[in-house]
Structure 1
Amino acid sequence: MSTTYNEAATAAPLNSTARVATASIVGTAIEFYDFYIYATAAALVIGPVFFPQTSGTAQMLASFLTFGIAFIARPLGSALFGHFGDRIGRKSTLVASLLLMGVCTTLIGLLPGYDSIGAWAPILLCVLRFGQGLGLGGEWGGAALLATENAPKGKRAWFGMFPQLGPSIGFLAANGLFLILAISLNDEQFRSWGWRIPFILSAALVMVGLYARLKLHETPVFANAVAKEAPVKVPLVELFSQHWLPVLLGAASMAVCYALFYITTAFSLSYGVSTLGYSRETFLGLLCFAVLFMGLATPLAALASDRYGRKPVLIVGAVLAILSGFTMEPLLTHGSTWAVALFLALELFLMGVTFAPMGAMLPELFPTRVRYTGASAAYNLGGIVGASAAPFFATKLVAMGGLSYVGGYVSAAALLSLMAVLCLKETRDNDLNKVA
């Protein structure tokens, strides 16, 4: 054990609650802003701009496939950034993941379309989309650890809620900006250059996130861990040799969160505009309204999971999500805007209920020496199951059997998560200072 590790550990100052909250929320808000503007663009313009040589349906399917590329990259990002997060610390790794995500997002906004550079356009788009996924793969796990490893006793879910609020804020910012553009620009202007503005603005937002994170100190839990022993050489190897079951169960427990969010947002937006006949601005406005319910559910579920435990909250949320799948067809085909708004609000409220406890539960599943890698791996592997091809499969399922099939997809993902949660032990009282 080197004196460098010991000195760093004993000298590590504590972060204030305000600083932890700000860095956690700002970082994940920016990351999900970056990620969701692609989901919105995929539903609206990516197909015509980068795949114009195909039919309208093929354009939409190709667009959603590029959307899924990032979810394939996310587990690789969790392994890459998790390795350094468990070896050199949470702070530096979080800064690097934010930079990668921001650079790739900005470059997508500057990337010429198929009409300008031909086949290179979709190829480079896929490369940058892969980079987005790598960055987000390392983002959430670090933000969750930053929050929970600074939390006082009995308040880990409340502190773990900070990064969970980020998606709601990022979603509102992304959707709000697209809504303004939809109102301000005509279709030709939006498809020509307007859709690029949210991507380019990411560069300014990343600077804000970097400022917040560079002010942080290393978490006391990580500092204590390196004071006891040197970090593990290859966290990923130890994780899957000794802790593979919590990774798989944690990933399966996340499936419902992803399915609720991306079916409700990316798929529903595309379906609402192309099939239900809503204008872009109207449906984006409905989504902005609905995400407020996700923001409301997040702190309520975090408080409940600190009081009653992670499992009871997640079980209730998963059961309600199973039932909610059966409401998709009747509400979206009801013919009234209030029914559509009700469905969107219901699904995103349940997203908040099932997502909030994850900020504490996934880090609690793993010892400190592999916690960054483990929490990130579980979180991002869940994305492959619940979200990577969700909009793509939903488009196929509608063609096969209508919206009831898509609702069945949501219910199936929720059932998978319910079974996984039932197999997990309650983690509320786990000791985060446990090294191995």
Structure 2
Amino acid sequence: MEPQSPPPHSAPPGRSGRRLSTAERKVLASTLAGTSIEWYDFFIYAQAASLVLAPLFFAPLSDESPGLAAVVSLATIGISFLFRPLGAIVAGRFGDRLGRKRMLVLTLVMMGGATSLIGLLPTHADIGVAAPVLLMVLRIVQGFSAGGEWGGAALMSVEHAPVGKRGLFGAYPQIGVPIGLIMATGMLWLLNAVMTPEQFESWGWRVPFLFSVILVVVGYLIRRAVEESPVFQEMLERKKESSAPLKDLLRHNTREVVLTALIFVGNNAAGYLVIAYFLTYGTNVLDLDRSSVLTVIVLASVGWLASTMWGGMLSDRIGRVRTFQLGYAFMFVWMLPMFLLVETGDIVAFGAGIVILGLGLGFSYGPMSALYAEMFPVNVRYSGVSIGYAFGAILGGAFAPTIAELLVQGTGWGGSVGLYIMLLAVVSGAAVTMVKEPKGADLGVSGDRVAGGDPAATERTGT
């Protein structure tokens, strides 16, 4: 996977001083808006599962064993992750054959539709066991959509980027995650401020789900205005599209798929502590004020957003691999001190620990779009990055809140969760170290052999 020199028309890495074109601005706006909306939809469920879904949809279990009901409610967050690979396979297949743009519009509409319908669902008190069943069906649709969303957004941004700014461009879909978290948490904070707990649990929890209708319309209009990726257009013009991208991917790029999954595990698990677990832990275990905990999560999300942009830009200077290594080294070192602060039960110490974690998360997240895009040839790139990302999410964040809850219930010590994340940071740090630095690799059709698309050609040329 030896990177080629940038094409003659491209600016040298890190030295592209020209202003962004109108088309490039549209791409960045599209990927940012779309991913922010998608992740708002995804995260509003995760936070509702932490706060109210257990008594509403799992009422008999909640009455008999509130602790077990909390575990089951958090586990529903992870169930959707199991369907991300299916979404990644389907979206990857059609995204590699029909284009990135079409799949991005489809995944946005699917996610928004499922989210809005959750806001209309009757509860267990209304229709009995059908309520949690329908909730799971819609959660599965969310997972399917999320599996196809990230790869398309990442490739639209990176494949439009000047070679020296791929890390920066690729950071835009990445910051959609903390922005979506800020939107979801901010919405819950507002509702918590203007409603009584009884009102919120009766009907107020539905508001953020129904609000998704407005967001999806906005995102749809923005995404429809964006041109298709120039790299994909080049592939079509040279008629190199694969009739079976998944088959080709598994034949030539299995190692890259495995590495992309493992690289994501540590970041995704730590991220879902911020997204979902600390809200439950702070309010239910430490008995902190809910509004204060929501404020902490918003501040941590802002820090995550800033460090994600910084991480993407830094990777354009020092490389993707080194930036990731810095991020995972920080995560390993900070975990136990963070839980020592969190365990004090003081809201200031609690907030400091989580906000500092947010400030470090971006270094193992911002460079991800560029790194993954540069690891795969164009004809299987959508499939490769989407499937690797989806499996990484299953191994990392899918059940991280549930595992954290079980660890705390079993050991009575929050630091056990820190040890769990430290282990995953070691795994992900080792995986990214196995990647030969790809910064500056040719993303077009001419670079297929460089990214691993043609082993025979690689052998012939000695690259």
- TM superposition score normalised by structure 1: 0.95
Report if the CA contact (8 A) 1:15-1:217 is conserved.
Answer: no
Instruction: Say whether 1:326 aligns with 2:336.
Output: yes
* Alignment partners' CA distance in 2, 1:82 and 1:24: 17
Partner residue of 2:372?
362
Q: 1:408 aligns with which of 415, 419, 436?
A: 419
Partner residue of 2:25?
18
* Alignment partners' CA distance in 2, 1:418 and 1:42: 31
Instruction: Say whether 1:48 aligns with 2:55.
Output: yes
From the superposition, tell whether residues 381 and 15 of structure 1 become closer, same or farther in structure 2 (CA, over 3 Å).
farther
Partner residue of 1:197?
207
1:112-261 maps to which residues of 2 (within 5 A)? 112-261=122-271
The alignment covers a number of residue pairs equal to 423
Instruction: Say whether 1:313 aligns with 2:323.
Output: yes
1:277-426 maps to which residues of 2 (within 5 A)? 277-401=287-411, 402-426=413-437
Letter of the structure 1 residue corresponding to residue 427 of structure 2: L
Q: Structure 1: where are the runs of 5+ without partners?
A: 1-13
Report if the CA contact (8 A) 1:114-1:120 is conserved.
Answer: yes
Letter of the structure 2 residue corresponding to residue 206 of structure 1: V
Q: After superposition, what is the alpha-carbon deviation per residue over 1:163-194, rounded to whole angstroms, capped at 9, x for unaligned?
A: 01111211111100100001111111111111
* Alignment partners' CA distance in 1, 2:139 and 2:275: 19
Report if the CA contact (8 A) 1:179-1:281 is conserved.
Answer: yes
Secondary structure of the 1:155 match is: helix
Partner residue of 2:15?
none
Dislocated runs of 4+, deviation >2 Å? none
Partner residue of 1:429?
440
Aligned-pair distance for 1:15?
Answer: 6.5
After superposition, the CA RMSD in angstroms is: 1.1
Secondary structure of the 1:53 match is: helix
Report if the CA contact (8 A) 1:328-1:403 is conserved.
Answer: no
* Alignment partners' CA distance in 1, 2:163 and 2:253: 25
* Alignment partners' CA distance in 2, 1:212 and 1:264: 29
Partner residue of 2:4?
none
Secondary structure of the 1:154 match is: helix
* Alignment partners' CA distance in 2, 1:86 and 1:172: 32
1:25-64 maps to which residues of 2 (within 5 A)? 25-54=32-61, 55-64=65-74
* Alignment partners' CA distance in 2, 1:194 and 1:167: 24
Report if the CA contact (8 A) 2:249-2:383 is conserved.
Answer: yes
* Alignment partners' CA distance in 1, 2:408 and 2:72: 16
* Alignment partners' CA distance in 1, 2:142 and 2:384: 20
Aligned-pair distance for 1:335?
Answer: 3.3
Q: 1:266 aligns with which of 276, 280, 296?
A: 276
Q: Structure 2: where are the runs of 5+ without partners?
A: 1-20, 454-463
1:32-111 maps to which residues of 2 (within 5 A)? 32-54=39-61, 55-111=65-121
- Sequence identity of aligned pairs in percent? 39
Report if the CA contact (8 A) 1:297-1:352 is conserved.
Answer: yes
Letter of the structure 1 residue corresponding to residue 242 of structure 2: V
Aligned-pair distance for 1:279?
Answer: 2.0
* Alignment partners' CA distance in 2, 1:382 and 1:348: 20
* Alignment partners' CA distance in 2, 1:25 and 1:295: 12
